Structure formats: structure tokens, C-alpha cells
Amino acid sequence: MVQALYKNGKISRKGPVVLVIMDGVGFGAYQEGDAVADSKTMMLKQLLKTAPWTKLKAHGTAVGLPSDEDMGNSEVGHNAMGCGRVFSQGAKLVNNSIETRAMFEGAVWEKLVNNVINTNGTLHFIGLLSDGNVHSHINNLKSMVIEAKKEKVKKVRVHALLDGRDVGELSALEYFDPFSEFLASLSDDSFDAKIASGGGRMVITMDRYNADWEMVRRGWQTHVLGEGREFSNPHEAIETLRKETSAIDQDLPPFVISENGVPVGPIVDGDSVILFNFRGDRALEITKAFEAETLDEFDRVRHPKVEYAGMMEYDGDMHVPKQYLVTPPSIDRTLAEYLCASNVRQYSISETQKYGHVTYFFNGNRTGKFDEKLETYVEVPSDNVPFEQRPWMKCADITDNVIKAVKSGKYDFIKLNYPNGDMVGHTGNYQAVVCSMEAMDLQIARLKSVVEQYGGILILTADHGNADDMYEHDKKGNVKRKEDGSPKSKTAHSLNPVPFIIVDPNYNGEYSTTLREGLGISSIPATCMQLLGFEPPEDYDQSIIELI
């Protein structure tokens, strides 16, 4: 339990502090491909001319990732915005665990390896095959396969999901072909390693927030049952399905690898299974499918008795999965917990796609509320359609609810997430992203008007960049182009800084309007505390404002 915060005696407002997280909205490094700058976002552009603002770091070491070459993401971004400090995150923890061999000397790894040695079974790996380092990294998988051979595992099968979201939209063969060669180079009379199945990450296996369990059913059918369209190798599967569907990697249909008409890697009794993704949100549902005794969401057909483990513990409160290879960061003393201890009434809202980010991730990977009486959570159901088809998503519905919350006078602190810039940005559809930005901007204008009317403070920021960098660029900054001359779409997050804007109509000189520079998004919690009239904890990262 944390102690109540001390009052700073400086700032007091009649209305609430409203924190708007514009998911995936940054300051682009290139003019061409910056859909944020290219959009008619009249409200945002006006605020950048009239309100105090600064740029914040939202990637790499500023959010606990191994290096500044690593893109930020919504999970680590909301962790940082919620806890006010930088914790080493999944990618860094996994790297350290492999480098120090702590993973391979751990009880869970030994248990899964010994299981397949004793049963003469197969060690299966399921996860995203890329070096995006947001959900997984191919080098971690390679290290585990090499170690499995050293420890006398006889058979390994990889169920590889195509990325095309955190890496190039048509980059799958850049990973699948060398990885297939890597497995072949390890295979000999005593060790048999192959890719067994695959499919696009937005089609199978990696659903989140219970939005579309049909994705998980398709993944189960593909990975576990070994049922689906069969190909002799992954290269053939990817090339054929691309030609037939014109889909980018993340949307490619599932496939099964077979030899002589027999799938090479269904999951059966006695096997061991490792989900090698380290990020939690898209790992929970497939984990439930493996671990639950009974499952209502879909018919598993058969539920093999296996030793299952995740790369990390994906939900620390629910203790999911039961077994995991690397201990996740222990995030404590979050903004929400301190505000509850200080009797601050809070309201958190987004649509399904980002609801868990303003609750679970913002609260330090914690399920549930700190105080039922002081916290209100609202989830607006997302449309179950491709995001480029409805790029406005649910930003108007979210705004409707927030306006009601502001007018009610029941809340002191309101936080919301507009998913548009991130979710639509991942589609690579430039026109849709521009539409999504303009739709969001209209809602920000509505929200600003009401916050001003009711004497509150509006904060606009983001968790990472995406919509600001929609085209692939070479090292010289030139746009890469397809054969027809059109730009190559980029579907991954950017390394760009994000905005932090304060709209405070009742400002009375309590703090400097020249905001601090060079900080990261982990400085947002201390700033929110100060604007709410409190002194932040001494070990929180420095506030973006300086009290006078």
C-alpha cells in the first residue's frame, strides 16, 4: 500500500485533469509519409501554435527497452505513463536471461526439455517470427533451438506467425527463408527441426482483449490439430498465398507444412510447448486455450496433455501462464494507486483494442482496480472489421462518454486512449490513416471545449509514434518505392518523439509555460500529479512542468 500524496499548495482547478493518449501519434522525421502532419488536424495544429508543448521520448531506453534502436510500443508506453519510472521491459529481460543462461538453468526450461526427452516427444515453439522486438525476437528463438539440441531434444517444431506489422509489411521471407536454412543446418540423424505451420498475426492466434476468438480457433486448428491448407515448405506457402490473396504478411491465411500428405508438426500428448512471445496482451487467449480444463470460447476438438510455458508471465495478478521462462518486471507504486490513496476519483476509457492499455498496462500489468469506489473503467466495444475500413474507429463514442464524465463533476482525473493512429497505422493504408487523424482531431476539439467550459486541464500526448512514419525510407532519407513507383508502406512503429501539450484555460502563473525538454513519457505521471495539486514521489521521473 502506498501513502497519500502531499498537496503542493500551488495548483487547484474546478474541473478534472483529462489525459488524452493519442495512440501512435508522433512528430515525423520525414515530410513524405508523415500522415499526422499531412492531415487536416486543425485543432492539433492550433494548439501547437498557442499552447505550451514539448517533445517526449517514447522508444528504446526511455521506456525500458534494450537500445534506442528499439521501437516503443503500447505496452511499455502505457507502463511508463502509468508508473512514472523506467523498468527493464520484456525484450531486455529476455536478452539478459539468455545471455546469463538463467533461462536455461531455470526449473521451467528443464521441466519442458526433460518432458520431451522422457516421452520421446516434440518441443514446439509458437510465436511471431521477426526481429520487431515488440512481441518477440527471432534471435531468442534461435538460442532456444540451439540449446534444445545441446540438451539432447530430438525433435523441434516451430509454429511461426508472420509479422508485417512491427517490421516491413512484405518482409516475411527475409525471416522465414534464413530461419528454415538455420533449422536445416542444425538437423542431423539425432535432431529434427522444422517449421510446422504459420499464418498472419492478424488472422490467427494473436487476438487480444477477447475481441475475436475465431482468430485463436484458427490458430489452434493450424498449430495443434495440424489442419489447414498444406504446403511442402514455408516459402511456397507464403509466395502462393500472397499471389492468391494480395494480402500483406499480417493478413496472410494460415498454412500447414506436410510431407507425403502428413502434417509435420501437430501437437499431441506428451509434447512440450513454448509460446516465445514476451508481450502479454496477445498471448493471454492462446495461453488460455492450452491451460484451461474447459473452454467455452471454441471447440478445441482435442486438448493434448502437454507441458506448456510462456516466455514470461503475461498476467501477474491472474498468474497466467502457470509456467514461464523469464520473470517480468515487478512494477509497483503506480500513478493510479497513489491517486486512490489520495482519494482522487478516476475514470479510464478506451475501445476494446486499447482498453487494456489504459487499465491493465497503465496500472503496471495489474488486473482489477485499486479502489472500486474511486475508479471507473469503461470499455467501448470495437468494431470487428479491418481498421482501414472504419478508420475513425470509436473515437466519437469515447468522446461522448468522456464529455458526460466531465460534465458529471464526479471525477478528478480522466484518462482515455484514442487507438486510431496506431491501429489504422498498422494497416499501411495512408488514406485511411489521414482519415483516422482527422476524425480524432474533430473529437479533440469537442473535448477541449467541454474541458475549458468546466474549468479543467487537458493534456494531449502519445505512447509511441506510428502514423507519423507511414513510408519506408533508406539511409539517406529517400522513400523506398515499389516497381510501379508508389511508396513502400511502413506498418511498424516509429522511433520518433511524441507530443505533450497542456491546455489550461485557468492558468494563473503557477508553473512555467516553457516545458522541460529531453524527457521521456515516464515523466507524465509526475506532471499529472502536480497538475492535480500534489507533490510526486521523490523517485518518480522529473515532471515536465516546473512549479513557480
Is 539 contained in some domain? no
Cell matching residue 72: 516503443
- Region of residue 333 (left: phi > 0; alpha: psi -120 to 50; beta: else): left
97 and 78 fall within a common domain: no
Q: What is the pLDDT of residues 170-226, one digit of tens each?
A: 999 999 999 999 999 999 999 999 999 999 999 999 998 788 999 999 999 999 999
Q: Do both 351 and 366 map to the same domain?
A: yes
Q: Where is 23: in which H helix or E strand?
A: none
* 413 and 265 housed in the same domain: no
What's the whole-number mean pLDDT along residues 480-490?
92
Q: Round to whole Å and give the CA distance between 151 and 533.
A: 58
Q: Is 160 helix (H, G, I), strand (E, B) or coil?
A: strand
Residues 339-369: b if buried by 16+ CB within 10 A, e if exposed: bbbbebbbbbbbbbbbbbbbbbbbbbbbeeb
What phi, psi does 401 have (nearest 5°)? Answer: -65, -40
- The CATH number assigned to the domain holding 507 equals 3.40.720.10
Question: Looking at residue 317, what is its pLDDT?
Answer: 58
* Helix 74-83 vs helix 524-531: crossing angle, to nearest 10: 40
Q: What whole-number percentage of the chain has pLDDT above 70? A: 99
C-alpha cell at 412: 478528478
- pLDDT for the residue numbered 527: 98
Q: What is the mean pLDDT of residues 447-464?
A: 98
**pLDDT tens digits for 324-378?**
999 877 899 999 999 999 999 999 999 999 999 999 999 998 889 999 999 999 9
Report pLDDT for 281.
Answer: 83
Residue ending a domain, among 294, 311, 326, is: 326
303 and 256 inside one domain: yes
Same domain? 401 vs 412: yes
In a domain, 198, yes or no: yes
* Cβ-proximal residues to 211 (8 Å cutoff; 6+ apart), any chain: 352, 353, 382, 384
- Do 191 and 55 fall within a single domain? no
Domain boundary among 263, 294, 326: 326
Tell me the C-alpha to C-alpha distance, in Å, between residue 89 and each of 6, 137, 192: 30, 13, 33
Return the closest-CA partner of residue 444 out of 78, 48, 171. Answer: 48
What is the overall mean pLDDT for the chain? Answer: 96
| CB half-sphere exposure, 545, CA atoms < 13 A | 31
**pLDDT at residue 67, as a whole number:** 82
Contact 484, 444 (CB under 8 A): no
Is 12 within a domain? no
Residue 10 lies in a domain: no
Residue 109: give the domain boundaries. 91-326
d(CA 461, CA 444): 12
Percent of the chain with pLDDT over 90: 90
Measured between alpha carbons, how far is 176 from 238 in angstroms, rounded to an integer? 9
Per-residue confidence (pLDDT) for residue 107, from 0 to 100: 97
Does 8 map to a domain?
no
Same domain, 299 and 368: no
Active site residue 74: yes
6 within domain boundaries: no
Question: Which is higher by pLDDT, 316 or 507?
Answer: 507
Lowest-confidence segment of 398-407, 474-483, 529-538 by average pLDDT: 474-483
> Do 319 and 411 belong to one domain?
no
Shared-domain flag, residues 131 and 202: yes
Residue 490 placed within a domain: yes
Q: At what angle do helices 172-186 and 234-245 cross, to 10 degrees?
A: 160
Q: Indicate the pTM of the whole model.
A: 0.77
Whether residues 342 and 320 share a domain: the answer is: no
Residues facing residue 193 across a β-bridge: 156
445 compared with 64, residue with greater pLDDT:
445
Residues 359, 364, 366, 369: is their CA dihedral positive or negative?
A: negative
In a domain, 401, yes or no: yes
Instruction: Judge if 35 and 149 occupy the same domain.
Output: no
Whether the pLDDT of residue 315 is over 80: the answer is no
Of the candidates 12, 67, 74, 197, the residue annotated as catalytic is 74
Q: Residues 36, 468: contact at Cβ < 8 Å? A: yes
Confidence category of residue 475, pLDDT binned at 50, 70, 90: confident
Shared domain check, 150 and 37? no
- Mean pLDDT along residues 128-144: 96
- Number of domains present in the structure of the chain: 2
